[in-house]
Amino acid sequence: MLIYTLDMFGTAVFAISGILLAGRLRMDPFGVVVLACVTAIGGGTIRDMALGATPVFWITDTNYLWVIFATCLLAMLAIQNPRKMPWYFLPVADAIGLAVFVAIGVEKALRFGASPMVAVIMGVITGCGGGVIRDVLAREVPMVLRTEVYATACILGGIVHTVGLHFGLETAAASLCGIATTLSIRLAAIRWHLSLPTFSLRNS
């Protein structure tokens, strides 16, 4: 129940990030809902399609859609000036949602018989896939490719999760270890603006 509650929280937070981007681009309400949906459930949809988990999770559990629609409505009514929000609110909430999404992606992949490596990849896709779709639709370079440590935190969290299971940890304990790892690294990246070295080619 705790993981499910956090999953719904992450769904709402990811939806808000899509809503804020739609607001900056002056989209109509339909555009707001589209960006919110792809951000919140896009990664999990890609994961389920890759694993052959049909129907995908939000078709069998429509609570995800209701959370997104309610978030859109409340956000469009309440968030008129995002600058009034504390700067850390959305990044920290996003980090919590990200950590939970990665753990859910890893666990679902393992339940479908995927190898640990594939499970980690599915965790990363679950956490980052929706944001990539959102940014592509908005004609921006995906955030996961250009900002602080993000996907790397997902990878390390997924590795800790699968390694914990390999060494005999129970599912819940391994999931919590993975969540704690992803969350800690992401929060550290937010606090100290950590990033990986960039790759650039010298002009010839």
| DSSP track, 48-68 | HHHHT-SS-HHHH-THHHHHH
> What is the predicted pLDDT for the residue at 154?
97
CA–CA separation, 130 and 64 (whole Å): 14
> Is residue 164 within 8 Å of residue 118, measured between CB atoms?
no
Return the domain boundaries, the chain: 2-192
> What is the predicted pLDDT for the residue at 2?
81
| DSSP track, 21-45 | HHHHTT--HHHHHHHHHHHHHHHHH
**pLDDT by residue (tens digit) across 115-160?**
999 999 999 999 999 999 999 999 988 888 876 799 999 999 999 9
What is the pTM assigned to this prediction? 0.93
> What is the predicted pLDDT for the residue at 72?
96
Identify the residue with better confidence: 204 or 100: 100
> What is the predicted pLDDT for the residue at 11?
96
Read off the tokens for 78.
Answer: 């309440």
**pLDDT by residue (tens digit) across 53-112?**
989 999 999 999 999 999 999 998 887 676 777 888 889 989 999 999 999 999 999 999
**pLDDT by residue (tens digit) across 166-184?**
999 999 999 999 999 999 9
Identify the residue with better confidence: 162 or 85: 162
> What is the predicted pLDDT for the residue at 147?
65
CA–CA separation, 17 and 95 (whole Å): 12
How many CA within 13 A on the CB side of residue 91? 18
**What mean pLDDT is reported for the chain?**
92
Report residue 33: phi and psi, to 5°. Answer: -65, -40
CA–CA separation, 22 and 76 (whole Å): 10
